[in-house]
Amino acid sequence: MDIPETWVVIPTYNEADNIDALITQLLALPVEIGVIVVDDGSPDGTGALVDAWSAEQPHRVRAVHRAGKQGIGTAYIAGWKLAINELNAERVMTMDADFSHNPRYIPAMLALSQTKHVVIGSRYVPGGGTLNWPLSRRLLSTVANTVAHLLTGLKAKDTTAGFRVYHRAVLESIPLDEIRSSGYSFLVEMLFFCQRRGWQIGEVPIMFEDRRHGTTKISRNEIFKGMGTVFMLFGRRLRRSEPQRAPVPLAPTN
Ligand SMILES: Nc1nc2c(ncn2[C@@H]2O[C@H](COP(=O)(O)OP(=O)(O)O)[C@@H](O)[C@H]2O)c(=O)[nH]1
Ligand SMILES: [Mg+2]
């Protein structure tokens, strides 16, 4: 059985109501992908559900177990290391477990990744948007994106989206262990590195739906940390401590 070239990394904390249906949908897509779930010891047993999948289909589903909730950013890194170092992935995706990121967009995102090094499933390009999101979350997201644009100079429209595709070379070019944020602002910091290193970034419109089951794990603390990250990146941009490299030519790896 062939091992997929594309692996999607899904961080989970208490997603037992979502994970089985999500893995089922991902494995049924017309594109061949593998699934890596990085679970932080979810008290609701998410990790054991994933173990059952990987016992049956180790070439398509893998579980990474960490002790205790350690943040979404470091969960991505743990999944990427497995994908790159052990599974030889050419492309690595990230998405949430709660169906906010609908698997049906994955084929279009992978298609665009033929000509872009990083692809974002984006709420803020024409055709994209949010469904059933309370006004408070919409406001928070809009403010966060606007401030991130102005201060960090990021060009992508949706800088906080966790639905992404990265080419292997992009992840290999970035000192992942030096990324300071561990939580949600990791996404902004990661995109900052991608843009500064000249990787080509594209966006595919998606409708982002509020989670079907369970509750959000974003906390007020994360919001403050996110603002801190944006100012830290602003400082780096002003000091030019992270040099802007020339655009990497579009020479898709495959
Ligand atoms: N492994 C891990 N996953 C997390 C952590 N925090 C959030 N997640 C997962 O990250 C994804 C996004 O979190 P969610 O609560 O949906 O955030 P929201 O959609 O922004 O409200 C979901 O799949 C969560 O289960 C964490 O500390 N560790
Ligand atoms: Mg969510």
> What's the total number of domains in the chain?
1
Q: What is the pLDDT of residues 59-108, one digit of tens each?
A: 999 999 999 999 999 999 999 999 999 999 999 999 999 999 999 999 99
147: in domain: yes
Lining ligand 1 with CB less than 6 A are 11-13, 15, 38-40, 69-72, 75, 96-98, 100, 211, 216-218
Centroid of chain to Cα 194: 13
250: in domain: no
Two structure tokens written together for 10: 């899904």
* CB-CB contact of 116 with 201 (8 Å): yes
37: in domain: yes
Q: What is the pLDDT of residues 165-209, one digit of tens each?
A: 999 999 999 999 888 787 778 999 999 999 999 999 999 999 999
Neighbours of 199 (CB within 10 A): 21
Which of 66-80 are b and which e, b meaning 16 or more Cβ less than 10 Å from the residue's Cβ? beeebbbbbbbbbbb
Q: Which of 8, 94, 96 to mutate to test the pocket of ligand 1 (most atoms within 8 A of CB)?
A: 96
Centroid of chain to Cα 254: 22
Task: Please give the model's pTM, rounded to 2 decimal places.
Answer: 0.94
56: in domain: yes
Per-residue pLDDT band for 251 (boundaries 50, 70, 90) equals low
247: in domain: no
Q: Which of 62, 182, 217 to mutate to test the pocket of ligand 1 (most atoms within 8 A of CB)?
A: 217
1: in domain: no
246: in domain: no
Query: Which domain range does residue 201 map to?
Result: 6-239
CATH code, domain carrying 154: 3.90.550.10
